[in-house]
Structure 1
């Protein structure tokens, strides 16, 4: 008993530290309540062309909905081609394949090729437009090293040659060539273009003026290509902003690098600090971390995390107009709402709705209705549309993590004692080793320490919860059927469900507190042990169950509370029946689906019916309760207690397996560190309340079924 008091004291002490850390995190998250909306210029330009109004009209109308700015990409050779401007861009390697190319192309190009001053990987751009020539010339000369390009004029044509390399080249996909017998002959791939066609050349003055005239801010999207990057590029880009009197509220980079990467980011940092410009980190398409942009995280750290997460409305979301049988953009609204309330998104990079790949929704009222609903839903979370708020750069002190770690060690020993018998001396030795180990790893490798500690908490506490489940079930099994009243049974079972969930919730708070560093809240770092922490407690439950109930144990099940060699031997040498194989296969399939559905990178997605049900819950409640918890796992835990009272051992095990999912899910909810902790707490509370209600219905059905079976067997008259 003395030993358990010591372990409990350490655990309670660590919980005090957890509460301090958790409250600080909740306070930081509660002040992060303003969401900005930025329009995508290119997408709205396309939409406006399909409507009866011009682009300026659309921008003005969206300003009344709370939109603050328009994202504008720099002009490039690629954008000029897409906009059908009078320019032709070709690869030298493609040009020289034509036998007569020397007759058809300017002499200056032919001479350069013959002197080997240009090669196949170089890019040739040609235009007869004086205006376009001046723009491109100024863009190249103000941003890039003169050795990288050549500008020439021949007769009435202006020529630009970009010095490309094999690394810049773009090829078509490999195609197989077959002979008449359909036998593979060779594989071919054609030189298509060059990455250099995306080099930023500056902002289009007409586009800038149109945005400003509509009353919106210009949010430039600078582009960087490392082999052409220099301090001159950064300075030229900034001078472009000064020329148009632009101070971007956010720096949302285009392409795969930040401006100035790799050696010239310092000039950008200084400019952003001076003008209080926030870093925009664009969430990836699988809603996990951000799109890869070299130098992004280093820039964010150097600016003391003055950063916002950006949600770009992807093509598949644009097309969710009248989706799931909705009349309008409700499902798009759901996507925006989830991004903001659940994933710490504070800038929405908005694109217009689509009916399909080509046709835009041009009815302004549909946008107005969606934004009105969206604002209402944000207000229920105490949020609003406006300049994006930024979270304080929260850092958890190592000494706090160490003290929380001591609590995890104490909980681990309590769990171990439910699996094997430990002498008091051994428990103290393990406690000492654990405390020294946790302290040491945080002094030497703190990052590894916090990951291991969070993973341990995510495994230990749901497992401890199931140890409590097994303990109570073994007591109920021992007592057998002692019918007092259904109401009293319900009260006892609900109490046990709450206690199990509170034990798991302790682990949730520990994970959410240990990993409450700003890098986790901004999802620059993520907890990668989620799937592992969901599988291991299932294995531990099976071991715990065998310890309490045994496997074909000769003696009474309640004479031992730890795993016995006899149980292992009986299991290993038991005859394998076909039913065992079938049940095992079913459990493997269910387990695979359960694990595979965790996250967004899987092809196994919820059905349409389930999504409609989820959406309904999202609309009605502050936080959507997790369906697997309140419809399945929590009721299963209640039923496990009930069938233990009826001495149905195999059903107790099956319901226990289902119940583990709910307990690991509680912790898993808090492992999504980008989700505000308060929302995770409310979500778990809803799940518990609904789980109790639904579990009670299931239990009543079970009671009724058992009673009916007794009547059918003629047992009713014995009662």
Structure 2
């Protein structure tokens, strides 16, 4: 960066690390490039609801959806709840209702009223039906799946009664609030609203299975999993149903907050999934970060050697985006699916039909046909097709590779010190040697922790080196503006400086992508940590680097060197009101910038911004980041322009904007679920558009400056 002889050791180590890093990056690219098929699974219950609101039977909808490449329909086990919902003449009565002598309940009990009252508690559930078929289905489901401690058959003749024995932990209460005429809250004791026992699995409905198969689709069987009663008997019966009905699913999508059989019988699940080559379904959370937390799912995924698939479920708020953002149809829902598949390694979409509001479904088949045609065309540009998905090939970066790559981060950090402090050669050599020794030792002791530390270090060090390069170039043209004696040459130098600085940041971004290229990061079982920290610290380092090069109202420095005197001048400066106001603006802008980083943020983009993003997304392979091409990259080019005009204040301000772009490059690659080629293309597009806008901004600045100079000359003539 500065004198090559001075930094020769560090540069050679970085080059060695880049060579090793390249093999890791190509390995990751190969794994991502082989995973190019996405499954579409229809949700049976919601498709059925939509069909009931339409003019067509459910089988018609299934048959027509199969034309889009859809192969599966997700089908849950039947439960007491689902049978009630399907109008199967099944009734679930809470124990406390029986004990209250409710007249309606008495009609179900008949002569058994007194006998039942002696056996029932307020937490139990009495299941009543007059349908022999429903009774036999429930009875067979209970007897095949659960122990006798759970249920008791009270009557199996005419009026069929089954007692499910619950307790306080099965109980569900309704969150009601009460108030008097003065609108003051009144606390009242509540009886249980219902019981979780109505959700226990009873087996699959043969009629639904036949309907799906007759429509030309396959059943994607989903077990119900109420963990307190998920014992070995249930699991064995469930797997037997898979074999009997020939509905072994390609992946398990678990319900509830635990995996099937957790914690005592999860080994049965693991063994069966290994034998049948069933993938683990990792359902992406609604904030699109990580997957839904289910106890035991990470351990199961590791036990199956990462035979897993990322799943995108169309959440209710997405279903309701029909005609959103001035679109005529389901374009915004399509955009959401497109991003999930192309940007987030999702390879199974759990599809639910569109909604006009919270209740009404879109029943115009043409809307679904248009959406799927557009969606398939767009993902084909990335080489992705709709079909039978496969898991990622397992990947783990070897310790030796991680060590050499880590050395590159250490060497870059030492190189960064050279931009802050001149001299101290021996100290830097000592720090370099210590770093080279500590990296392999730390990887040996805490490999997973060291991966994250090294990635975080790369995300801070390389963008800071990039901005140090900018300061070096600005200093050169600040003290020798003759080196840029025309606007054309200034623009050329600005472009070269932007490309060089961004190249340095891009190297750091590849360090992140290589260090954290293990399968757990690609599946987002683990994520890059410290996003906000990696955005903020380089800004502080930029201030220090700027002072090291330009000082604070001091003399020209031959070598970059941050001194105590510079810091004292800055800290004890008399602050003018205008600086306070400008500082407040910077703080607000900084807060918005940091707050919008990440997914769990309350500051959302405006409708206009979302519409602009969608346009870019539709026209380009990867959508460039707005803050890069609109602000940060042109700001870096403007810094060179201001250097030729010898304005330290504007150099500093432009540098603040520029550092945002360099950290953003690293941040782009820290989204590890995003395929590496897509992150690279996003940066290329941002640079291309940013250069064009940077040229425009510089020309406008030149016109403003010349206009102001002309006004000053005219004003001076007027005074004379």
The equivalent of 1:73 in structure 2 is: 76
SS of 2:413 mapped into structure 1: helix
| C-alpha contact 1:261 1:295 (8 A) present in aligned 2 | yes
Report the CA distance shift for 1:12/1:575 in structure 2 as closer, same or farther (over 3 A): same
In the aligned structure 2, how far is the partner of 1:284 from the partner of 1:440? 36
Is residue 594 of structure 1 aligned with residue 596 of structure 2? no
The equivalent of 1:437 in structure 2 is: 438
Deviation at 1:455? 0.6
Moved more, 538-547 or 9-18: 538-547
Moved more, 589-598 or 395-404: 589-598
The equivalent of 1:140 in structure 2 is: 142
Deviation at 1:306? 1.3
Residues 651-670 of structure 1 correspond to what in structure 2 (within 5 A)? 651-670=650-669
Report the CA distance shift for 1:392/1:583 in structure 2 as closer, same or farther (over 3 A): same
Deviation at 1:293? 1.9
Match of 1:158 among 146, 160, 165: 160
Deviation at 1:355? 1.2
Deviation at 1:599? 2.4
| C-alpha contact 1:102 1:110 (8 A) present in aligned 2 | no
In the aligned structure 1, how far is the partner of 2:48 from the partner of 2:210? 14
Match of 1:170 among 169, 172, 182: 172
The equivalent of 1:43 in structure 2 is: 46
In the aligned structure 1, how far is the partner of 2:356 from the partner of 2:426? 70
Deviation at 1:173? 1.7
RMSD over equivalenced CA pairs, Å = 2.1
Residues 333-344 of structure 1 correspond to what in structure 2 (within 5 A)? 333-344=334-345
The equivalent of 1:32 in structure 2 is: 35
The equivalent of 2:122 in structure 1 is: 120
Moved more, 37-46 or 318-327: 318-327
The equivalent of 1:89 in structure 2 is: 92
Q: Give a deviation string over 1:621-647, Cα, whole Å, max 9, x none.
A: 111111111111100111111112111
| C-alpha contact 1:122 1:164 (8 A) present in aligned 2 | yes
The equivalent of 1:238 in structure 2 is: 239
The equivalent of 1:637 in structure 2 is: 636
Moved more, 645-654 or 450-459: 645-654
Residues matched between the structures, number: 713
Report the CA distance shift for 1:9/1:119 in structure 2 as closer, same or farther (over 3 A): same
Q: Give a deviation string over 1:573-611, Cα, whole Å, max 9, x none.
A: 222322222222211211111112122222211111111
In the aligned structure 2, how far is the partner of 1:253 from the partner of 1:187? 37
Q: Give a deviation string over 1:625-674, Cα, whole Å, max 9, x none.
A: 11111111100111111112111211111111111111010000000000
The equivalent of 1:566 in structure 2 is: 565
Moved more, 152-161 or 380-389: 152-161
Q: Give a deviation string over 1:475-506, Cα, whole Å, max 9, x none.
A: 22112466522221111110000011011111
In the aligned structure 2, how far is the partner of 1:109 from the partner of 1:517? 63
SS of 1:484 mapped into structure 2: coil
The equivalent of 1:502 in structure 2 is: 503
In the aligned structure 1, how far is the partner of 2:117 from the partner of 2:648? 85
The equivalent of 2:151 in structure 1 is: 149
Report the CA distance shift for 1:632/1:107 in structure 2 as closer, same or farther (over 3 A): farther
In the aligned structure 2, how far is the partner of 1:187 from the partner of 1:396? 60
In the aligned structure 1, how far is the partner of 2:185 from the partner of 2:65? 56
The equivalent of 1:12 in structure 2 is: 15
Report the CA distance shift for 1:567/1:106 in structure 2 as closer, same or farther (over 3 A): farther
In the aligned structure 2, how far is the partner of 1:446 from the partner of 1:375? 41
TM norm structure 2: 0.95
SS of 2:249 mapped into structure 1: coil
The equivalent of 1:215 in structure 2 is: 216
The equivalent of 2:24 in structure 1 is: 21
Moved more, 166-175 or 700-709: 166-175
| C-alpha contact 1:406 1:438 (8 A) present in aligned 2 | yes
The equivalent of 1:61 in structure 2 is: 64
Report the CA distance shift for 1:702/1:18 in structure 2 as closer, same or farther (over 3 A): same
Q: Give a deviation string over 1:382-418, Cα, whole Å, max 9, x none.
A: 1111101321001111111111111100111111222
Q: Give a deviation string over 1:409-451, Cα, whole Å, max 9, x none.
A: 0111111222234511111111121112211110001011111
Deviation at 1:175? 2.6
SS of 1:267 mapped into structure 2: helix
| C-alpha contact 1:551 1:567 (8 A) present in aligned 2 | yes
TM norm structure 1: 0.95
SS of 1:147 mapped into structure 2: coil
| C-alpha contact 1:72 1:220 (8 A) present in aligned 2 | yes
Deviation at 1:102? 9.6
In the aligned structure 2, how far is the partner of 1:84 from the partner of 1:582? 67
The equivalent of 1:291 in structure 2 is: 292
Deviation at 1:187? 6.1
In the aligned structure 1, how far is the partner of 2:402 from the partner of 2:128? 62
| C-alpha contact 1:394 1:516 (8 A) present in aligned 2 | yes
Deviation at 1:713? 1.3
In the aligned structure 2, how far is the partner of 1:36 from the partner of 1:155? 46
| C-alpha contact 2:314 2:350 (8 A) present in aligned 1 | yes
Is residue 129 of structure 1 aligned with residue 128 of structure 2? no
Unaligned runs of 5+ in 1: none
The equivalent of 1:491 in structure 2 is: 492
The equivalent of 1:627 in structure 2 is: 626
Q: Give a deviation string over 1:169-194, Cα, whole Å, max 9, x none.
A: 1112263555x666555365542122
In the aligned structure 2, how far is the partner of 1:102 from the partner of 1:339? 49
Deviation at 1:266? 2.1
Is residue 364 of structure 1 aligned with residue 329 of structure 2? no
In the aligned structure 1, how far is the partner of 2:468 from the partner of 2:512? 20
In the aligned structure 2, how far is the partner of 1:228 from the partner of 1:520? 34
Report the CA distance shift for 1:445/1:608 in structure 2 as closer, same or farther (over 3 A): same
| C-alpha contact 1:511 1:670 (8 A) present in aligned 2 | yes
Deviation at 1:307? 1.2
Deviation at 1:274? 2.2
In the aligned structure 2, how far is the partner of 1:318 from the partner of 1:349? 12
Q: Give a deviation string over 1:536-584, Cα, whole Å, max 9, x none.
A: 111111111122222233xx14355222211221222222322222222
In the aligned structure 2, how far is the partner of 1:72 from the partner of 1:137? 21
In the aligned structure 1, how far is the partner of 2:644 from the partner of 2:111? 96
The equivalent of 1:552 in structure 2 is: 553
Deviation at 1:295? 1.9
Unaligned runs of 5+ in 2: none
The equivalent of 1:531 in structure 2 is: 532
Moved more, 607-616 or 561-570: 561-570
Report the CA distance shift for 1:41/1:102 in structure 2 as closer, same or farther (over 3 A): closer
Deviation at 1:84? 2.7
In the aligned structure 1, how far is the partner of 2:585 from the partner of 2:80? 57
| C-alpha contact 2:490 2:640 (8 A) present in aligned 1 | no
